[in-house]
Structure 1
Amino acid sequence: MKPESRKPVEISSKRRPARVEALAALPLFFPLEGRKVVLAGGTEAAAWKAELLAAAGAEVHVYADRLDEVFEALFARGSVKGAFVHHQRLWSPECLAGAVLAVADANTEGEAQAFYCAAKTAGIPVNIIDNPKFCGFQFGSIVNRSPVVIGISTNGVAPILGQAIRRKIETLLPNALQDWAALAGRLRARVLSTLEAGAERRRFWERFCDLAFSSKPVQAAPTELEALFDKCGTPQAGRVTLVGAGPGDAEHLTLKAMRALQSADVILFDDLVDDSVLELARREAKRLLVGKRGGRESCRQEDINDMMVTLARQGKHVVRLKSGDPMIFGRAGEELERLEREGIAASVVPGITAASAMAAELGISLTHRDHAQSVRFVTGHSRKGDLPETVDWRGLADPVTTTVFYMGGRMAGRISARLIAQGRKPDTPVRVTTSVSRDMSRTWSGVLSELEDGVGSLPSDEPVLIAIGEVFSNRRMREECRSFPIAHPPGAAMAGRPQ
């Protein structure tokens, strides 16, 4: 019995929680250029804070009867932007007059409390270095591509984690980004005066950002920027991007997929796309659930095709977001053919397919040279809902081939019987995994003759991946993994909800 069709469903905020979850602290960016900051203490830790404050343009008044040699070297070198004023004496409440921030490296609890109270009385935000209970604000880790500045805070509870996050972000941002950001500031007035508010300006800045992340130097940009102004000032043709969302965990997304989601006007997504992936999309993007799920009520493919065409003709960037890789059992061929007939520009962003993610989770090579010289990805059912008859079943029975069946849960018994009838040994090792890469993922391990019962022991309403071959021949692993959930490392799946 064929599942009923349904219409696309727009996902509204009523179905999802608020976009902004609870914040440990409000991140703010505080201009300091030409403003007075008081810093009490002449230690090395105080020197680092003085250098940071002066780099933001502050006039840092340092109160200390003695300076650490690091501090003395800093004074001798000077600041890249601000200035230092050394007062060779201890601080007093009067020195806080006119200051906008107060920072101290206190030797004792009493000194920390006295400085904190004096700053509070003066109405000045205060920070006692490495003493959170006397801090009205905290310094976070910083990624500096000024004028692009990224602050990272763990609210004082895990500073080492903050530093690790900073290092991760540092590797993603090209050093030339600060030059591109400065150029954006110089172009802002021209964009406001020559391009219409709304879609034209957004298109310009999206393409500008593509250039900024292309690793091209700013000096090579003038010709391309002029072309951007010309293109964005004329009506924009719509386009469609087929994007692979990966098997579930948002951390499997490619950078190119992220950029597509961030530039989308409309996102047509399938049931299997995880909420954490949608959370990374542009907030203003319209989200339409066009669920396609085996054996369930689904949108007709013809309706999805019609919708892509209609939206693209309205000048929108449509992202067709598919679980896994769009070019593997994702009906991408039909969608691309329709878009080509309609003259609509289309591109594809590949994603990690479920079989690759499963192999990575299990730590098993699908083409381990001791066991398999080829791997085959096979659909578990035909258009008619039966076993696909056009598949070379005799070839799938090859003992040195790893075969992975997608969407084969309901056909497990028939797959097993057909392969055994074609000569595959009944004791061929098998791994079955549901909801690959997600927190609810479970796996069963056994042999081909037990496949139907093995699939039956797993959740019936989750997507199933059936992997068959000698690469799964570790018997100890098979015994340990029968119907057990796959252990995901902490943080492997992103928490959160779609916006």
Structure 2
Amino acid sequence: MKHFPIFMALEGRRVVVSGGGEAALAKLRLLLKTEAKLTVVAKTPAPEIVDWAAEGRLTLIDRAMEAGDALCARLFYAANEDDAEDARVADLAHRDGALVNVVDNLQDSQFITPAMVDRDPVVVAIGTEGAAPVLARAIKKDIEERLSPRLGLMARIGKAFRAKADALPFGVKRREFWADYYAQDIATEDAAASTLDSLLDKHLNASAKEGRVELVGAGPGDPDLLTLKARKALDAADVVIYDRLVAPEILELARREAVMLSAGKEGFGPSVTQDAINDMIVTHARDGAHVVRLKSGDPTMFGRLDEEIAACDAAGIAWSVVPGITSASAAVAALGQSFTKRGRNSGVRFITGHDTKGFADHDWKTLAREGEVAAIYMGKKSARFIQGRLLMHGADALTQVTVIENASRPEQRILATTLGELEPTLTNAKLAGPALVFLGLAPRAALSAAQQHEMEAAI
């Protein structure tokens, strides 16, 4: 982000525009919606500017700009539609201490004016840092159609009602009151005032809200793979208790006011205990919060889901599960492979490399058979153990193995190897992110290259 969006207080503040043509008019039509003290400096101002000056809506200086014209100005627009003149007046404004925008010149501007959806006092600003103004206009059009034209009226009346609404406890109850109000489309001031009074009475006399828990899958990391239901849960959550592997981009989607609590777990490393996580969930839900327990991938896959459900049941707290795309599905898609294939395998095993007791033991004899396919979660640090167990039970050292680090994320990495070379391949790769190990699968492109090499060697 090269431009940080802010809303600047302009009430009673001086804003200066240099120029009297179409570019200046475009800026003035926006600025006249503010309560700023506007000054236009132009030798040949457009008739509209002359009329606005006659109406007292702005001050017109009908000459070329001089030093001192932008003194005490909070903002300055160079809108002369002439590069040399814009550069000259921008330099003068800089010396006078104003923040300068040169119209249609991103490089020489200290600030930019975004596209805006105006439902005063509700204002939505849309910026693309000059990269795609057409896109900004398309987004503006979409938002314009979604927001009621009466939203500004409702917001102004709601603002005046805030002192009365403070009778509700701060937090969930107050948010629910305002959510109820703004969910309506009210046409008149009298209707809005009446609605606010009745809603306040309803919420003041409502019984205490019971908390609830949603156990939500965050998917493998790519925010585009987050389900719509998970997105809605994040948008409504009062408290989000999240795992270490949940991508920061997904945490950004949570409601701004939500309490964000890390419940990180790391194999063979420092971790928040499961009992402590259960306590966090139950404590916040008992306080009436909508708790989202956010887990990487799918909560039903090696996510200690049953333990957290049991804790909710024991505390009498309502819960629901929102499944997510498991990391193995995203990873196998990156390989260009499927879990099952006619003539190769009719089943796939999802196993873990380690559990709470250490390295996990499995039916290694069955897994060692030719054609078996397995997706091994948490297999990075247990790779040597897995390799040894499989080879000990007769697995072919040339069995294809693929390791996918950070599946679905921009930093995704794919390593194609064999069971016999799994270690030291992993050690040499110095993987830093979460990784899945696939037994019996290879990336389609790597597999094609290997087959081509074998054909060339045979000739």
1:41 aligns with 2:12: no
CA distance in 2 between partners of 1:335 and 1:48 (Å):
58
Q: Contact 1:433/1:441 (CA < 8 Å) preserved in 2?
A: yes
Using the TM superposition, give the Cα deviation of residue 115 of structure 1 relative to its aligned residue in structure 2, in angstroms.
3.6
Is 1:175 matched with 2:145?
A: yes
SS of structure 2 residue aligned to 1:106? coil
Which whole-Å CA distance do the structure 2 matches of 1:172 and 1:107 have between them?
30
Cα drift, residue 52 of structure 1: 3.5
The one of 232, 238, 242 aligned to 2:215: 242
Structure 1 CA distance for aligned equivalents of residues 168 and 215 of structure 2: 28
Would you say 1:317 and 2:283 are equivalent positions?
A: no
**Mean alpha-carbon deviation: is it higher for 110-119 or for 295-304?**
110-119
Q: How does 1:40-439 map to 2 (within 5 A)?
A: 40-43=19-22, 45-54=23-32, 63=42, 65=44, 91=64, 102-106=76-80, 108=82, 111-112=85-86, 115-116=89-90, 126-131=100-105, 138-144=111-117, 146-147=119-120, 148-151=122-125, 158-160=129-131, 163=133, 166=136, 175-179=145-149, 181-182=151-152, 183-190=154-161, 192-194=163-165, 195-200=167-172, 202-204=174-176, 207-208=179-180, 230-231=202-203, 233-248=206-221, 253=226, 257=230, 260-261=233-234, 264-275=237-248, 277-278=250-251, 281=254, 285-360=258-333, 362=334, 364-366=336-338, 376-381=349-354, 384-387=357-360, 389=362, 394=366, 399=371, 403-412=374-383, 415=386, 427-437=398-408
Matched, 1:27 2:21: no
Query: Is 1:444–2:415 an aligned residue pair?
Result: yes
Shift of 1:432: 0.6
- Cα shift at 1:272: 2.8
Write the deviation string for residues 77-96 of structure 1: whole angstroms up to 9, x where unpaired: x99xx999998975566998
Give TM-score, length-normalised by structure 2.
0.69
- Identity, % of aligned positions: 33
Superposition CA RMSD, Å:
5.3
Q: Distance in 1 between matches of 2:21 and 2:417?
A: 68
Partner letter of residue 103 of structure 1?
Answer: Y
AA matched with 1:242: L
8 A contact 2:384–2:422 mirrored in 1:
yes
User: What is the alpha-carbon distance in structure 2 between the residues aligned to residue 392 and residue 174 of structure 1?
Assistant: 60
Q: Give the secondary-structure state (helix, strand or coil) at the position aligned to 2:244.
A: coil
Question: For the structure 1 residues 56 and 190, does the alpha-carbon distance in structure 2 shift closer, same or farther, using more than 3 Å as the test?
Answer: closer
Q: CA deviation at 1:241?
A: 2.7
1:242, CA displacement in angstroms?
Answer: 2.2
Q: Secondary structure at the match of 1:409?
A: coil
State the match for 1:16 in structure 2.
Answer: none
Extract unaligned runs of 5+ from structure 2: 451-459
Matched AA of 2:145: N
Provide closer, same or farther for how the CA distance between residues 376 and 86 of structure 1 changes in structure 2, counting only shifts above 3 A.
farther
Give the conservation status (yes or no) of the 8 Å contact 2:404–2:415: yes
Measure how far apart 1:466 and its partner are.
1.0
Q: Secondary structure at the match of 2:316?
A: coil
* SS of residue in 1 equivalent to 2:215: strand
User: C-alpha displacement at 1:330, in angstroms?
Assistant: 0.9
Larger RCO (alpha carbons 8 Å, 6+ apart): 1
Distance 1:25 1:314, change over 3 A: closer
Distance 1:41 1:356, change over 3 A: farther
Q: Deviations over 1:18-63 (max 9, x none)?
A: xxxx9866723455799986451324x4443344434658889684
Aligned partner letter, 2:171: A
The AA in structure 2 aligned to 1:320 is R
Larger radius of gyration: 2
Shift of 1:444: 1.9
1:393/1:252 CA distance change after superposition, 3 Å:
farther
Partner of 2:434: 463
Give the letter for the 1:377 counterpart.
Answer: F
Cα deviation, 1:75-133, whole Å, max 9, x if unaligned, reads: 6xx99xx9999989755669989998653433556533554466678887654324568
Tell whether the 8 Å contact from 1:445 to 1:478 is kept in structure 2 after alignment.
Answer: no
Matched-pair contact (CA < 8 Å) for 2:217–2:296: yes
Residue type of the alignment partner of 2:416: S
Change (3 A) 1:381 1:46: same
Secondary structure of the equivalent of 2:145?
Answer: coil
Give the CA deviation at 1:142: 1.9
Residue identity in the other structure for 1:129: V
Residue type at the aligned position of 2:284: L
SS of 1:311's equivalent in the other structure is helix
Query: Is 289-298 or 166-175 further displaced after alignment?
Result: 166-175
**What amino acid does structure 2 have at the position aligned with 1:436?**
A
Q: Distance in 2 between matches of 1:335 and 1:285?
A: 21
User: What CA deviation, in whole Å up to 9, does each residue of 1:247-304 have, x standing for no partner?
Assistant: 3456655565456456545443333334555455566655544333333343442332
Distance 2:275 2:5 in 1: 47
Distance 1:427 1:352, change over 3 A: same
Q: Number of matched residues?
A: 435
Aligned to 2:319, the other structure's residue is in SS state: strand
Going from structure 1 to structure 2, the CA distance change for 1:177 and 1:129 (only over 3 Å counts) comes to same
Relative distance call for 1:201 and 1:114 in structure 2 (3 A) is: farther
Alignment TM-score, normalising by the size of structure 1: 0.65
